Amino acid sequence: MKSIFSALVACFLAVQVFAQSSVLPVIPVPVSYTYGNGQYTLPASITILTPADTLIAKTGERLAAQLRTIAGRNVKVLATDQRASGDFVFVIDKRIPKEGYRLQIEPRGVRITGGGPAGIFYGVQTMLQLFPASIVSKTAPVAEQWMLPSVTVEDYPRFAWRGMMLDVARHFFTKQQVKDFIDQMVQFKFNTLHLHLVDDQGWRLEIKSLPKLTEVGAWRANRVGRWGDFTKPTPDEPKTYGGYYTQDDIRELLAYARERFVTIIPEIDIPGHSLAAVASYPELTCTTDSTYQVNAGERFMIWPGNGTFYGTLDNTLCPANEKVYEFLDKVFTEVAALFPAEYIHMGGDECYKGFWEKSKAVSDLMKREKLKDMHEVQSYFVKRVGKIIASKGKKMMGWDEIMEGGLAPGAAVMSWRGMKGGTEAATAKHQVVMSPNEFAYHDLYQGDPIAEPPTYSKVLLNKAYEFDPVPPGVDPQYILGGQCNLWSERLWTVRHMQYMLWPRGLATAESVWSPKEKKDWTGFIGRVENQMKRFDEAEVNYSRSMYDPAFIAKKDAKGELSIEMTTQIAGLTIHYSFDEFFPDRFYPAYTKPLSVPKDAANLKVVTYRGKEQVGKIINMPVAELRKRAGIK
């Protein structure tokens, strides 16, 4: 009797929570939603009814597997065009946008109407976020009150291109790890996976006509530690770290992605970032008197500041060498045949041209083609690559550097150095994907560097949430969408990769799917905290740095150190100590700028929400704060 009473109380409380909450706990926030009365409780036996469409049926089968495994239900899927009754019914309505859907949850069952198979898939993703967090548990079956709120959701995306870039060149992620990455991104309605397949540290794609690219270019000396501080490998040192995807691996990944409505965009980064290719085929460079090997993380590109850089080693393909274009024709022939995507990304970024300036072949090319500077030399190269890609029936995309010296006809631009390049390209009526580093580089610091894994710049969660792919005054018809990037120089493991991506990836998801006017920082944080519970259940790593304070070190009127602290999230209290013990909520709360007690060496801080510790304890050396304030 007691257990029956407890179950009734649980049901009542669940209904009350859904009834009282005006915020749907879903990321990205939908176009509109309306709560109804009551809730839908999963019966012991469930029928999922789908149209006779292979992709929709596969969506139904994956949902069925989840309900069987986690909820312990008996589930069958019926794929039929005949009218029949079911607990979950999937329907196509062509009047709805192709990726749009209508989700209707009532006490009698669930109906998902999509404009196409993708719309039904996204409706299922929204519905799954309305289940208890244990729906994604690694422990099964889970004893749970399996209920859904009565609600009607109308939804469709703002942009067609909702991308994530995964760098598999600097650190190799296995085929299964890429599949897992796809499964995570589609939960939040991303539909484009940009694979950075080629860089100085590895060539990750089998090209059958050029076998050395994977025999040599896919492997490097193993190093562990701080990226950029590694010693240069000796020529005879074993090259044991790396890997690559066979063309069959790629076909398997493409099929996996297609069933989840994800397009995979391949990137072959040229003419810079080409050391793996040059190590494999040294005749492709202008500097043939050097010895090349795949970079293991030792520094050879130097960044003095102000966006300038130079290289101590030639990592470029030679634009004046006809063998390079023969090489690229072979590469893009196989890439185009393998990947069905409309675009091939050719990189084009961070190409150091100092070695070209010393090349007689490049000098002769400039005279012959009447090229006045190195930007025009790179533009010459990019335009030739564009013609090669077009000859394979594909469109070319590149980072915004491909605009320098003149943009190739028909080329699309991925704007990473802020929004400026994308704005100029869109104004010139070229297609653009916005991926600006100040909003969308999720491999950067997401809190104070003193408490985060090492990198080189910062994107806080609230900054990531400000991302709008359409700059003021730009015609939106030229903005394909937006994308966040996860470069992997410093990402050694999947756990590290997940920590950098989540929750900032949630901010990008909302920026590229949801209507601009629906975005709300306070509401977003509540939904992020709800998603964190689901990450815990799924054993997906994530960062809690959004709770940590920012430190602002200044000189006061007397030239002494003054410390201010702020938080991204309202309603938090910062507690601190100078006494070398770990503070808790019984330690002083920060209310005004702090002065440092004489001889204190460290400021320790932690954030609380009421009685709950939400941030990590951070140890900030006073010497570091004095340095930031410019005090010697």
Segment holding 148, helix H or strand E: strand 147-155
Catalytic residue flag (residue 489): no
- Which position among 171, 194, 273, 575 bears the catalytic label? 273
User: How many residues does this entry show for the chain?
Assistant: 632
| Active-site residue, selected from the candidate residues 99, 155, 199, 269 | 199
Asked about 199 being catalytic, the answer comes back as: yes
What's the CA gap between 438 and 374, in Å, rounded?
27
Q: What is the distance between the alpha carbons of residues 279 and 46, in angstroms, rounded to a whole number?
A: 57
CA distance 436 to 259: 29
Parallel, antiparallel or unpaired: strands 479-486 and 161-167: parallel
Q: Which long-range contacts (CB under 8 A, 24 or more apart) does 522-526 make?
A: 522/570, 523/23, 523/29, 524/27, 524/29, 524/465, 525/569, 526/23, 526/25
Pair of tokens at residue 198: 């080629």
Query: Which residue type sits at 274?
Result: S
**What residue has token string 């970079």?**
295
Query: How open is the CA angle 195-444-574, to the nearest 5 degrees?
Result: 145
Q: Exposed e or buried b for every residue in 618-629, given b needs 16+ CB within 10 A?
A: bebebebbbeeb
Contacts of 401 (CB under 8 A, 6+ apart): 348, 349, 350, 351, 378, 417
| 597 DSSP 8-state letter | P
Query: Which of the residues 350, 376, 404, 438 is marked catalytic?
Result: 350
Q: How many helices (H) and strands (E) does the chain have?
A: 18, 28
| Residue spans of alpha helices (H) in 37-134 | 54-69, 117-130
Residue 32's Cα: distance from chain center in Å? Answer: 26
Quick check: 386 and 408 in contact, CB under 8 A? yes
Distance between first and last Cα of the chain = 73
Catalytic, 350? Answer yes
| Residue appearing with tokens 């000796």 | 234
Count of CB atoms situated within 10 Å of the CB of 523: 15
Question: SS3 for 6-30, per residue?
Answer: HHHHHHHHHHHHHHHCCCCCCCCCC
Name the residue type at position 67: L
What is the rounded distance in angstroms from the CA atom of residue 302 to the CA atom of residue 309?
5
Active site residues: 199, 273, 350
